[in-house]
Amino acid sequence: MTLAPDSPLATLWCPSPNYEPRVGGRKPDMLILHYTGMESCEAALDRLTSAEAKVSSHYLIDDDGRIVQLVAEPERAWHAGQSLWAGETDLNSCSIGIEIHNPGHDFDYPDFPEVEMRAVEALCLDILSRNAIPPERVLAHSDIAPFRKRDPGEKFDWARLALAGIGLYVAPTPVGDDPGMGAGDEGKAIAELQRVLASYGYGVEVTGTYGRGLEQIVLAFQRHFRPERVDGRADASTLDTLARLIAALEARPLS
């Protein structure tokens, strides 16, 4: 393994033992953003570098903006866990993972400080400059593991990153007062919602029934793309935001 960080923005190289070669020699084409979900960044660093924990990421960003590299970018870090995107399940082999320190939903979920977001933005741009990662494959941990994860959550500023050229994003349609579709509903409109979510990459089966699984996926979509109200219901705002996101994806020039 390299003894120097891949990114010049990393001020500390703290190797984690939790890595291996990428399966099939895959090159990274996905960037996954997480929050640590721990009360201190020091505790997160200890866990990410513990052989017993069997977890890691390529980078860790503290809330003071400090960037630590833990695993070299060419290696397979262990951050995605059981996950799915666009039919693929070994996301560790095709992704670079960034852990962003925030105690998370279990510890009052504070805002992400400005200095930390500046560091996130700079590191993402640096990673994207070296790796062929399309905008639609810059994702939240909750996007790829909606039944297990909520991070980095609805307070994370995806719109800011998009303005800097990071990720695919559209301005969310304002929330209205319509109740939308929810658990227990059935029909063609549900099947179409499932089909569109699946076309973007979410791991959803087209059944025509709004069950708990679909609710979790809608929650994940809202946390990333429509954070004003995260309730798992497919209201007009959610549906329109999703439709415009798909349109933006289809309009994106092929590289």
Angle at 145 between CA 49 and CA 45, to 5 degrees: 15
Q: Determine the distance from the C-alpha atom of residue 205 to the mean position of all C-alpha atoms in its chain, rounded to a whole number.
A: 20
Helix (H, G, I), strand (E, B) or coil at 189: helix
Helix (H, G, I), strand (E, B) or coil at 30: strand
- The end-to-end CA distance of the chain, in Å, is 31
Burial class (CB in 10 A: 0-12, 13-18, 19+), 70: buried
Residue among 99, 116, 136, 154 flagged as catalytic: 99
Give the count of beta carbons closer than 10 Å to the beta carbon of residue 180: 19
Q: What are phi and psi of 23, to 5 degrees?
A: -60, 130
Tell me, yes or no, if 99 is annotated catalytic. yes
Nearest to 139 by CA among 226, 225, 38: 225
- The residues annotated with a catalytic role in the active site are 99
